[in-house]
């Protein structure tokens, strides 16, 4: 559903030549007029009971509008409008053009509750008709839908049809009366009632439901794991935790804690470490998994190269952040990493120094002599601004999942394998560069503030409005925040708006300790890394 700014109503008027003209734009204009009146209404005049009723009616209206929005999106899909406008998929159209916040979630809701057109032209009944009716009436919202659909999709495929229908009616009825948390508990009870002995659920159901997701890092750089493990994987995980998650083992807060399993540890050292161990079982589970992953990296079980990058923990960090020992770096997989952890890891790692203002000894220009990018080119590409993700607009595929795309000109057409002409592109976007409608044309800005960045333009049908050149520009949050902080301080404390002198370094550089021809900044960085490596 399209989002609107205050008092700005994006309702497209029908073309004078289009026949017949629909009443829908007019109805939406009336709706926005009512919303304007509602925004100006004084809710403080409502009694408590009346305000509760108003809030409930408002939420019901939001649910109904979302259902109607899904109906409009489905009609657009049936007419193939997204692809005619050059979008690669309906989800891409929903995200970029309609500004839908969670296209995947909306599509799952549509799959369960929308009436899709059949080959004969008629509309089919929704997959879950009772739930669809409750959604259309506004009795259930997105969270209720998601929880109910999760349990309905988990029904064993061998369950008789009449029992599946009864289960859908039962869960849909409960969705209109209970909270999502309560629906979860009730759904578990219903599944247990339908298959008390586990005889209906089989290996096919387990294979269909297996998954594991590492969700985005939160404000504290912590990531939540969610998933469904099949019985074998769960058994392997239980064995790992039983062996590596015992008290005293693999404790990152204890430098004397034994690493690995119990059999490899000195008994006395393990007992002493266990006495000092104040971690919870959940924390020990986390540390055991981390220790296992480190062991896999150390033993080289992941191979030597992945998409041209070395199979190592590759981190990009700002030089000023390293010197200040504050801020956040980013890994080649797109994970933010606090600078304190970056410095700690750098003390035991091989460092690559990428310098862009001066020439380096690394071979980065090959012309037509070489088609595939080298490791040095991939590392330099990762180190460039926004190089940690695919260069296509709105794509967040990390550097470990990208290929090197000849952005200025395709290699087959005479393009050069030079670092200034290469750009990271995930496999999907790399294969969507070409002359076809819905594909992309790419190029490189040679001058101006975006010099060196790759632009992407979606190809449209002849006669359609042209699409603009777009960059996958990621805002520098730290810079924006510092600007806003300086402005706020200037407003709050105008008398203190005086630039402070730069702090003196806490360590003096001695010429005999550093190589010749090294800048003060590089010397300061080297001392920082050496201090933490000691």
Q: What CA–CA distance (Å, rounded) separates 526 from 323?
A: 9
Q: What CA–CA distance (Å, rounded) separates 381 from 375?
A: 10
Of the pLDDT bands very low, low, confident and very high (cuts 50, 70, 90), residue 140 is very high
Name the pTM for this structure.
Answer: 0.48
Length, in residues, of the chain? 534
Of the pLDDT bands very low, low, confident and very high (cuts 50, 70, 90), residue 145 is very high
Tell me phi and psi for residue 341, to 5 degrees. Answer: -70, -35
Of the pLDDT bands very low, low, confident and very high (cuts 50, 70, 90), residue 511 is very low
Contact 130, 169 (CB under 8 A): yes
User: Using alpha carbons only, what angle is made at residue 287 by residues 216 and 208, rounded to the nearest 5 degrees?
Assistant: 55
Residues 32-86 have pLDDT tens digits of 999 999 999 998 888 888 888 899 999 999 999 999 999 999 999 888 888 888 8
Q: Which residues of 305-326 are buried (b: 16+ CB within 10 A; e: fewer)?
A: eeebbbeebbbbbeeebbbeee
Hunting for tokens 């309560």 — which residue is that? 182
Mean pLDDT along residues 408-437: 84
Distances (CA, A) of 308 to 150, 332, 382, 402: 39, 12, 12, 10
Number of other residues whose CB lies within 10 A of the CB of residue 470 = 15
On the question of pLDDT at 191 being above 70, the answer is: yes
pLDDT at 526: 54
Please tell me the number of Cα atoms within 13 Å of 145 on its side-chain side. 29
Q: What CA–CA distance (Å, rounded) separates 195 from 188?
A: 11
Of the pLDDT bands very low, low, confident and very high (cuts 50, 70, 90), residue 517 is very low
Contact 399, 334 (CB under 8 A): yes
Q: Which residues of 89-112 are buried (b: 16+ CB within 10 A; e: fewer)?
A: ebebbbbbebebeebeebbbbbeb
422 sits in which H/E element:
strand 422-425
pLDDT at 14: 46
Higher pLDDT, 225 or 381: 225
pLDDT at 501: 56
On the question of pLDDT at 1 being above 50, the answer is: no
List Cβ<8 Å contacts ≥24 apart for 160-169: 163/194, 167/194, 168/128, 168/129, 168/130, 168/131, 169/130
Distances (CA, A) of 500 to 177, 283, 485: 61, 43, 15
Q: What CA–CA distance (Å, rounded) separates 483 from 529?
A: 29
Of all residues in the chain, what percent carry a pLDDT higher than 70?
Answer: 71
User: Using alpha carbons only, what angle is made at residue 453 by residues 451 and 454, rounded to the nearest 5 degrees?
Assistant: 130
Q: What CA–CA distance (Å, rounded) separates 170 from 139?
A: 15
pLDDT at 159: 78
Radius of gyration of the chain (CA): 29
On the question of pLDDT at 514 being above 80, the answer is: no
Residues 294-305 have pLDDT tens digits of 887 776 666 555
Residues 317-328 have pLDDT tens digits of 666 666 566 667
Of the pLDDT bands very low, low, confident and very high (cuts 50, 70, 90), residue 200 is low
Q: What CA–CA distance (Å, rounded) separates 498 from 188?
A: 63
Mean pLDDT along residues 283-310: 71
Contact 228, 209 (CB under 8 A): yes
Average pLDDT, the chain: 76
- Token pair, residue 353, equals 């120094």
Q: What CA–CA distance (Å, rounded) separates 308 from 417?
A: 14
Hunting for tokens 């670092």 — which residue is that? 419
Number of other residues whose CB lies within 10 A of the CB of residue 363 = 11
DSSP H helical ranges for 416-476:
427-430
Distances (CA, A) of 61 to 44, 299, 325: 21, 58, 51
On the question of pLDDT at 212 being above 80, the answer is: yes
Residues 333-382 have pLDDT tens digits of 666 767 666 666 655 544 444 444 344 444 455 555 666 777 777 777 77
User: Using alpha carbons only, what angle is made at residue 71 by residues 65 and 74, rounded to the nearest 5 degrees?
Assistant: 140
pLDDT at 135: 94
Q: Which residues contact 175 (CB under 8 A, 6 or more apart)?
A: 131, 134, 139, 140, 144, 145, 147, 148, 183
Mean pLDDT along residues 229-243: 78
């Amino acid at each position: 559903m399209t989002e609107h700014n205050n008092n700005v109503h994006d309702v497209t008027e029908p073309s004078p030549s289009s026949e017949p003209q629909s009443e829908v734009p007019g109805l939406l204009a009336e709706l926005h007029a009512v919303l304007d009146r509602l925004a100006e209404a004084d809710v403080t005049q409502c009694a408590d009971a009346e305000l509760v009723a108003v809030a409930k009616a408002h939420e019901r209206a939001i649910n109904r509008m979302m259902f109607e929005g899904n109906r409009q999106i489905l009609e657009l899909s049936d007419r193939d409008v997204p692809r005619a406008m050059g979008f690669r998929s309906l989800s891409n159209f929903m995200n970029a053009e309609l500004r839908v916040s969670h296209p995947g979630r909306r599509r799952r809701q549509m799959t369960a509750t929308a009436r899709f057109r059949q080959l004969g032209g008629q509309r089919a009944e929704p997959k879950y008709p009772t739930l669809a009716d409750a959604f259309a009436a506004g009795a259930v919202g997105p969270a209720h839908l998601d929880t109910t659909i999760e349990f309905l999709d988990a029904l064993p495929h061998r369950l008789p049809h009449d029992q599946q229908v009864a289960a859908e009616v039962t869960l849909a009825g409960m969705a209109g009366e209970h909270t999502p948390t309560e629906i979860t508990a009730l759904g578990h009870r219903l599944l247990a009632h339908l298959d008390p002995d586990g005889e209906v659920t089989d290996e096919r159901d387990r294979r269909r439901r297996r998954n594991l997701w590492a969700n985005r890092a939160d404000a504290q750089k912590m990531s939540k794991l969610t998933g469904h493990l099949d019985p074998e994987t769960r058994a392997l995980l239980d064995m790992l935790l039983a062996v590596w998650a015992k008290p005293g083992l693999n404790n990152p807060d204890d430098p004397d804690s034994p690493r690995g399993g119990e059999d490899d540890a000195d008994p006395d050292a393990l007992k002493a470490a266990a006495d000092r161990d104040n971690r919870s079982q959940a924390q020990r589970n986390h540390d055991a998994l981390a220790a296992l992953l480190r062991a896999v990296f150390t033993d080289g079980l992941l191979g030597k190269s992945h998409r041209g990058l070395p199979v190592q923990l590759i981190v990009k960090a700002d030089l000023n952040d390293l010197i200040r020992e504050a801020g956040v770096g980013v890994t080649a997989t797109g994970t933010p990493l606090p600078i304190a952890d970056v410095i700690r890891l750098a003390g035991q790692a091989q460092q690559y120094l990428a310098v862009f203002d001066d020439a380096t000894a690394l071979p980065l220009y090959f012309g037509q002599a070489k088609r595939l990018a080298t490791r040095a080119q991939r590392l330099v590409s990762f180190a460039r601004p926004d190089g940690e993700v695919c260069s296509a607009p709105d794509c967040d595929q990390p550097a470990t999942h990208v290929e090197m795309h000849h952005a200025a000109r395709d290699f087959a057409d005479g393009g050069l394998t030079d670092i200034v002409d290469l750009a990271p592109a995930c496999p999907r976007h790399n294969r969507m560069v070409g002359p076809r409608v819905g594909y992309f044309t790419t190029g490189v800005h040679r001058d101006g503030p975006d010099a060196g960045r790759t632009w992407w333009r979606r190809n449209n049908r002849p006669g359609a409005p042209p699409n603009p050149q777009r960059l996958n520009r990621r805002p520098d949050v730290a810079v924006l925040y510092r600007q806003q902080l300086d402005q706020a301080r200037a407003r709050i404390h105008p008398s203190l708006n005086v630039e402070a002198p730069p702090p003196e370094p806490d360590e003096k550089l001695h010429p005999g300790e550093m190589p010749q021809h090294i800048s003060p900044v590089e010397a300061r960085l080297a001392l920082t890394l050496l201090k933490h490596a000691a």
